[in-house]
Amino acid sequence: MAKKIKFKKNPTYEECFPRSEKKYKEVDFSSEYFETNHQKIKIPFRRISLKENTHHLDVYDSSGTQGINPNIGLPKIREEWISKRKKDKNPTQMYYAKNNIITPEMIFVSERENIDVEFVKSEIARGRAIIPSNKKHPELEPMIVGRNFAVKINANIGNSAVGSSIEEEVQKLQWATLWGADTVMDLSTGKNIRQTREWILRNSSVPIGTVPIYEALEKVNGKPEDLTWEIFRETLIDQAEQGVDYFTIHAGVLLRFIPKTSERMTGIVSRGGSIMAKWCLSHHEENFAYTHWDDICRICAKYDISFSIGDGLRPGSIYDANDEAQFDELKIQGELTKRAWEFNVQVMNEGPGHVPIHMIKENMEKQLDWCHEAPFYTLGPLTTDIAPGYDHITSAIGAANIGSFGCALLCYVTPKEHLGLPNRKDVKDGVIAYKIAAHAADLAKQHPNAKNWDDEISSARFEFRWEDQFNLSLDPVTAREFHDETLPHSNAKVAHFCSMCGPKFCSMKISEEIREMAKNKNQNEQVIMLEGMKEKAKEYNKMNTES
């Protein structure tokens, strides 16, 4: 990060979230094992002020410290925590959890999620949850991925050979986390991969994941057959030293599975999967990531890098969903998961892809069974192939579905999927679509902290507190803009209707009146509602006859 770069600014936190304030909860951490006494841990959250500041709602906040010059980078909040771990050769969260030791990271996520820290520790020890947190990424605000916690979302960024710059990628990172991305994958394949990653890491408060085979491929001028274990290993260590928190490694793409993709409509659609498959075929040898898995585990254990074991043979079309190649690889993911746990490396498994709704559940059930309940991390899945330009929607449907069955991390898809490199607007659209999917899944799973947000916004809506309704939404600015498009005046913010149904047909207003009448007349609400509806029907019919 030596060179100074002039960065374009995103809209600020205050502009994006009016009447919201970033706040921190402070907790004390003392540990005999880490020789720490009363260390302060500050956990961020967003406070939304309501009812003209007489009431508030606190929500999860992944946006990181605001107003920082990217040339300087974020504050290193974990530096002191990590410095206490020098005596441990493999200081992974799983190692500590198995040895009954609570880390500051565990405290951080338990406070963030409002869940008991002993439970956090036991889920990590069991492999059912992970805290991706490389010891070389001190800027990180820890988060947890596991099916007994809030469903999280990942945003992909990164340049390609035909576009983008360091400025744009850092800006996308800040933009994605501002809107709620819990992790970010840097999938750069263009120029300056290493340098771009350095800028991203030093400015990221969320875990950063990569697919190291992309950079290894750059080192051999894009020829998969020229890759070697040594080049791959060197790439892993370099990225580990920089602070990458999780690696996607396609070690489950085995030589014997590749012929099974020949009957597919869309072959192998994972970039990493196709690179490994080409290497295996050209050498007629087993995947070097598979044969060197224990060596890779040793590297990851040293830094506490989590695995996101890749699904290189995921289906790329509805036609190919849930086929033999896909499930053969999933079984190998289970074997690799167990081996990684022996090294105390934290693991999640990647999943599809393109899957119609009725075939989604099978993916979750098989993953839980074959991969020993390690967290599942899926791309969507896209539930239909017919809507290029809207794949944030086709996939958010699948994401909500699989999230409700227990998928822990949902990788977003933007409207540009299959069409081009996403820009800043696409990143926001993808993040919002996936925040909806994750929250819908939390509601379906009856997560204890999910429903109160819905209840707050529903009550604001019913009481015509327009400002509160805007400010409680995932995207307050858009909600306000849509309202103001037809009713921009300030008195419309106290009106008991909007332009959708107009003043006479506002059902919320009618219900309000019915309640009032019922209260006054002490009558049953349902009877009154029927009377009210008959009355409105008469008005409507009259209007239609007159027009």
Instruction: State the residues that interact with ligand SF4 by CB under 6 A.
Output: 497-498, 500-501, 506-508
> Which amino acid type is present at position 454?
D
Q: CB of 488: closest distance to ligand SF4 in angstroms? A: 15
Nearest approach in angstroms of CB 515 to ligand SF4 is 15
Q: Which is nearer to ligand SF4, 161 or 501 (CB)?
A: 501
Shortest distance (Å) from residue 491 CB to ligand SF4? 15
Task: For residues 373 and 367, give the distance between their C-alpha atoms in angstroms, rounded to a whole number.
Answer: 7
Which has the closest alpha carbon to 353: 264, 244, 222, 442?
A: 264
Nearer Cβ to ligand SF4 (220/533)? 533
Nearer CB in complex with ligand SF4: 255/508? 508
Amino acid symbol at 332: I
Task: Name the residue nearer to ligand SF4 (CB basis): 145 or 498.
Answer: 498
Phi, psi of 54, deg, nearest 5: -95, -5
What does the block give as tokens for 390? 């809207």
Q: CB of residue 523 vs ligand SF4: minimum separation in angstroms?
A: 23
* Cβ neighbours around 458 below 10 Å, total: 13
Minimum distance, C-beta of residue 484 to ligand SF4, in the bound complex (Å): 13
CB of 495 vs ligand SF4, minimal distance in Å = 9
Is the C-alpha dihedral spanning 269, 369, 142, 252 positive or negative? negative
β 55-60/129-130 pair status: unpaired
Go through 509-522 and write b for each residue having 16 or more CB atoms within 10 A of its CB, e for each that does not: bbeeebeebbeeee
Select 508 or 518, whichever has its Cβ closest to ligand SF4.
508
Q: Nearest distance from residue 433's CB to ligand SF4, in Å?
A: 22
CB-nearer residue toward ligand SF4: 420 or 503: 503
Q: Which two tokens stand for residue 85?
A: 């771990």
Question: Given the complex with ligand SF4, which of 296 and 506 has the nearer CB atom?
Answer: 506
Phi, psi of 84 (to 5 degrees): -85, 0
- The separation between CA 445 and the C-alpha centre of its own chain, rounded to angstroms, equals 17
Q: Which is nearer to ligand SF4, 387 or 479 (CB)?
A: 479
In the complex with ligand SF4, which residue's Cβ is closer, 444 or 508?
508
Tabulate helix, strand, coil % of the chain (nearest 5): 50, 15, 40
User: Between residues 444 and 517, which has the closer beta carbon with respect to ligand SF4?
Assistant: 517
H-state helical runs in 263-347: 271-283, 288-291, 293-303, 324-342
**Minimum Å distance from CB 464 to ligand SF4?**
7
Give the SS3 label for residue 198: helix
CB of 207 to ligand SF4, least distance (A): 40
Which H or E run contains 130?
A: strand 129-130
Sign of CA dihedral 190, 194, 195, 201: positive
CA 440 to each of CA 112, 225, 406, 458: distance values in angstroms, whole numbers, following the listed order: 19, 44, 12, 15
Distance in Å, CB of 500 to ligand SF4, minimum: 4
Dihedral angle sign, alpha carbons of residues 343, 197, 155, 419? negative
